């Protein structure tokens, strides 16, 4: 049974695979209380407001996630987002919304944490990759997921590639060598100059392989999530932390002690 000081949580997309697992994890946590399960067609703002949720967790679909975040913010909740499909423009609109709410209130304002991946192994893999990127001439990313995933490349792979690209740019590296002249569609997506390849295969859950190469050597960083239960510690950590982080935070690595 939750105590009176427990954080009140609403889950958006509660009927989905990740949403259902998240509901169970919240209910099992002594310091959290599940106060609302929100599904497609529900009025997110109304349910969040009426339930008194302090944190809303969004595991809906890419087409709905940004609107859900704005609605939850307007209803007075902090928001943790696990749905992918975000870009610089949608994140920018959320950041602007947060700034307006902070300016209109007395305190620091609400927080939104968007995590491309809640798996601790995935977050560590992304962090290690960003640190290794400056030391290698070549870098590519392969992400592997179940065939029911609606977006490609995955948000995790995009986040990984962007961090690799930023580290390479800071180190003054040239683009990865590539003599391809035709057949570019076989070379994967270009994310800030880093090639990202997406595999969709029945039996997979969520996996990522980050490849670095120099003359005569290769570094491979591999991460595997075999069950959605692996994401729950990260989800719960985000719920506990988002209230103390006003504004927009992108990436679970920002709430982990990885120094």
Residue 230 has which token pair?
């692996």
Annotated active-site residue in 70, 97, 149, 207? 149
In 10 A of CB 65, how many CB atoms? 23
In the residue annotation, 207 being an active-site residue is answered as: no
The single residue listed with the structure tokens 């304002």 is 109
Query: Which one of 97, 145, 159, 207 is the catalytic residue?
Result: 145
User: For residue 235, is it left (φ>0), alpha (ψ between -120 and 50) or beta?
Assistant: alpha
Q: Is 197 a catalytic residue?
A: no
- Spatial separation of the C-alpha atoms in residues 229 and 16, rounded to whole Å: 14
Contact residues for 116 (Cβ-Cβ < 8 A; gap 6+): 84, 154, 155, 156, 158, 159, 250, 251
**Residues with active-site annotation:** 145, 149
């Amino acid at each position: 049974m939750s105590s009176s000081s427990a954080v009140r949580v609403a889950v958006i997309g509660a009927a989905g695979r990740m949403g259902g697992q998240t509901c169970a994890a919240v209910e099992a946590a002594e310091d959290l209380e599940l106060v609302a399960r929100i599904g497609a067609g529900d009025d997110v703002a109304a349910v969040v407001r009426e339930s008194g949720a302090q944190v809303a967790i969004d595991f809906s679909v890419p087409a709905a996630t940004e609107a859900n975040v704005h609605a939850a913010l307007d209803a007075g909740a902090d928001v943790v987002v696990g749905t992918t499909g975000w870009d610089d423009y949608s994140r920018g609109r959320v950041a602007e919304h947060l700034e307006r709410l902070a300016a209109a209130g007395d305190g620091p304002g609400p927080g939104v944490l968007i995590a491309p991946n809640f798996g601790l192994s995935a977050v560590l893999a992304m962090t290690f990759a960003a640190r290794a990127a400056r030391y290698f001439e070549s870098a590519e990313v392969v992400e592997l997921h179940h065939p029911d995933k609606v977006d490609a490349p995955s948000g995790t792979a995009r986040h990984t590639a962007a961090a690799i690209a930023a580290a390479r740019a800071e180190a003054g590296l040239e683009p990865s060598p590539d003599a391809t002249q035709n057949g570019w569609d076989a070379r994967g997506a270009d994310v800030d100059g880093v090639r990202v390849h997406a595999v969709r295969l029945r039996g997979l859950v969520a996996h990522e392989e980050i490849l670095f190469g120099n003359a005569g050597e290769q570094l491979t960083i591999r991460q595997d999530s075999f069950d959605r239960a692996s994401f729950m510690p990260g989800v719960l950590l985000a719920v506990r932390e988002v209230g103390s982080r006003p504004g927009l935070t992108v990436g679970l690595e920002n709430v982990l002690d990885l120094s």
